Chain A
Amino acid sequence: MTDLRSRFHEADRIPAPDLWQDIVTREPLGPVGPPLWPRVAVAVAALAVAALGFALLVRAFLPGTRQSDQPTPTPTGAFRPEPKANGLIAFVRTDPESVSEGEFPLTDLYSVEPDGTGARRLVGEQGFLFRSTVAWSLDGSRIAFRWQGPIRIMNADGSGIEQLTTCRLPDCDADAGGDSHPSWSPDGTHVAFSRFNGTHEELWVVGVDGSEPRPLNQEFRAIVHVAWSPDGTAIAVVGFAGPGTEIGPDRIYLVDAETGQIVRTLGAPSGLVFAGTMSWSPDAQFLAFDAYREGGTLDEVAGIYVMRADGTDVRLLTACPTDGSHLCTDMHPAWSPDGTQIAFTRALPERGSDGFMGDIFVIDADGGEPRRVTSGPGLDCCPAWQPLPAG
């Protein structure tokens, strides 16, 4: 899209005024800027400190528990995931009527039964930086999410929030994205995530007790999604890797979980462009992803596709119907732990002035009619399905 980029840069010819004198003498109108550390952050920090202290006490007195100062073993070899049953669906709810200090609507983290009952707010009023992938631990007991820079983890009921990563310059730029896209290792010992360092994004790994954070791969220019493979050997990254500053179309990269080397690159299937989210099937044989058809008409919709993990057998699973008067979008696929269904966000633009509001839907992994799970006031997005022990 070089032509559009160069067209935009023709604006560089517009002479800009020198505002510095106005800036230094100006009395700011008010706190319109993004909140730095709102009161809830203080509460979260206090909770984290309390939880950490309690955890340390428990670990000190319970035999057989791992001490937090011990090195966290790195994942080794293939992990054989046990069959799982479907639990709750966690998702991010944005209420357009609740506006944060920064003018964007506030977002809450919710959970809901797959049949749409029992919606419950787990974490509330987290501000507009909350939207990101939410990741369940493989035993379904904890959730990793990002907010205000670092990755945090909490219990499935929203209690016991702890800060997992420390986002500080120059390694991590919280104001421009910070740590995002957490994904739990199948053996439960590590969390992979993307880190924005001010110029580009890197793939990092950290122990679930916060120990040994380290960059696993620093070749990426951009990362928009991270998903640890169900067998634990690879981490799938949606983004773009390469030298230079240019960022090309997103690809799916498989990164060796131990060495950090990129072992396979999957470009988008012919005619498609990756939109940014992907999900492994529990048996690691298939990938679900959101994409749109480049070169289609304006009314053509973005949809959820499924392909084999080697990039073959691509099929469209669902695409939001359009009647020509409005556009809608299916995105953010999340495979169910038992492998039979896929949850996703169906964005229905006609419902919001912003042009992007929608709900969580579920569809059988082999197709069929999508079923509505939520009916939120704004955008319910980014579902993540809780794994539970089978049987």
Chain B
Amino acid sequence: MTEDARTELERVYRESGERLWRAVLLFSGDRETASDAVAEAFAQALRRGDEIRSPERWVWRTAFLVARGMLKERRRMVGEVPDRGYEVTPRVTELVDALRALSPTQRAAVILHYYADRPVGEVAALIGSTPSAVSVHLYRARRRLRVLLEERDD
């Protein structure tokens, strides 16, 4: 790959890598999965180099795909975001627990929309769905999360 492509990818990592890592953490509920998925996505992007026209979107989609595959393979959801050495508010822990109640597609849609601030059409492109389906996913996820989070707040 060219030096320019590598420099551009490092810029993408410095600008959005942390947010991507947190998004995948919310999706997977597991620090190790988040780190593996993000590192794998960027490593693949490095290998593909100049083939990738829009590295930022590409690594976002790939990281979620990798995480989804890891979760499927491991058949587990740890869901314990707090880890020794990390300070996490109970409200974030509650959110991650509530997210576990959603289907993977709903979870990905709601994280990409409400955390990564992606519009519905882009979420549809990222998760391989239609805008209508994403809208309904978001609606249901919102309703479900509201109920679950209110229960926990009580």
Given A36-B52, A131-B130, CB of A11 within 8 Å of CB of B95: yes
**Interface flags, A114-143, vs B, CB<8A=1, else 0:** 000000000000001101100000000000
Q: Name the segment of A58-66, A227-235, A311-319, A327-335 touching the other chain.
A: A327-335
Chain A residue with Cβ nearest B18: A16
CB distance from B87 to the nearest CB of A (A): 7
In B131-154, which residues have CB < 8 Å from any A CB?
Answer: 131-137, 139-140, 142-147, 149
B40 touches A32 (CB 8 A): yes
Measured in the bound complex, the distance between the Cα atoms of B65 and A22 in whole Å is 19
**Interface flags, B91-131, vs A, CB<8A=1, else 0:** 11001000000011110000100110101111011111111
CB distance from A29 to the nearest CB of B (A): 6
A207 touches B (CB below 8 Å)? no
Point out the residue from B13, B48, B106, B131 that lies within 8 Å of A224, measured CB to CB: B131
B61 touches A132 (CB 8 A): no
A176 touches B (CB below 8 Å)? yes
A277 touches B (CB below 8 Å)? yes
Classify the interface of chain B: helix, strand, loop or mixed.
helix
CB distance from A52 to the nearest CB of B (A): 23
B44 touches A28 (CB 8 A): yes
A22 touches B39 (CB 8 A): yes
A9 touches B (CB below 8 Å)? yes
CB distance from B84 to the nearest CB of A (A): 12
A46 touches B (CB below 8 Å)? no
Point out the residue from B47, B91, B106, B117 that lies within 8 Å of A10, measured CB to CB: B91
Point out the residue from B22, B68, B137 that lies within 8 Å of A356, measured CB to CB: B137
A32 touches B44 (CB 8 A): yes
Chain A residue with Cβ nearest B138: A1
Measured in the bound complex, the distance between the Cα atoms of B15 and A23 in whole Å is 15
A13 touches B121 (CB 8 A): no
Interface residues on A, range: 35 or more
B130 touches A198 (CB 8 A): no
Q: Name the segment of A167-175, A211-219, A257-265, A370-378 touching the other chain.
A: A167-175
Q: List chain A residues, Cβ under 8 A from B45.
A: 33
CB distance from A277 to the nearest CB of B (A): 5
Chain B residue with Cβ nearest A249: B135
B47 touches A28 (CB 8 A): yes
Q: List chain B residues, Cβ under 8 A from A250.
A: 120, 135
A1 touches B44 (CB 8 A): no
CB distance from A31 to the nearest CB of B (A): 8
Point out the residue from A28, A223, A290, A355 that lies within 8 Å of B121, measured CB to CB: A223
A32 touches B92 (CB 8 A): no
Given A11-B26, A12-B22, A174-B54, CB of A33 within 8 Å of CB of B17: no
A71 touches B (CB below 8 Å)? no
**Interface flags, A73-106, vs B, CB<8A=1, else 0:** 0000000000000000000000000000011110
Q: List chain A residues, Cβ under 8 A from B65.
A: 32-34, 102-104
Chain A residue with Cβ nearest B145: A4
Given A13-B87, A28-B40, CB of A224 within 8 Å of CB of B136: no
**Interface flags, B38-50, vs A, CB<8A=1, else 0:** 1111111111100
A14 touches B81 (CB 8 A): yes
Q: List chain B residues, Cβ under 8 A from A174.
A: 53-54
In A186-239, which residues have CB < 8 Å from any B CB?
Answer: 194, 196, 198, 200-201, 221-225, 238-239
Further 7 A-B residue pairs, CB within 8 A, beyond A19-B21, A32-B62, A275-B139? A15-B86, A33-B61, A176-B57, A180-B125, A224-B124, A276-B130, A277-B131
Q: Which 6 A-B pairs have the closest CB atoms?
A: A224-B131, A128-B128, A176-B57, A177-B125, A33-B62, A355-B103
Question: Can you list 26 A-B contacts (CB < 8 A)?
Answer: A7-B95, A11-B95, A15-B86, A17-B21, A19-B17, A19-B21, A20-B42, A29-B40, A34-B58, A128-B128, A169-B53, A174-B53, A176-B57, A176-B122, A177-B121, A178-B125, A196-B121, A198-B54, A224-B132, A225-B131, A275-B131, A292-B135, A331-B130, A355-B106, A356-B103, A381-B133
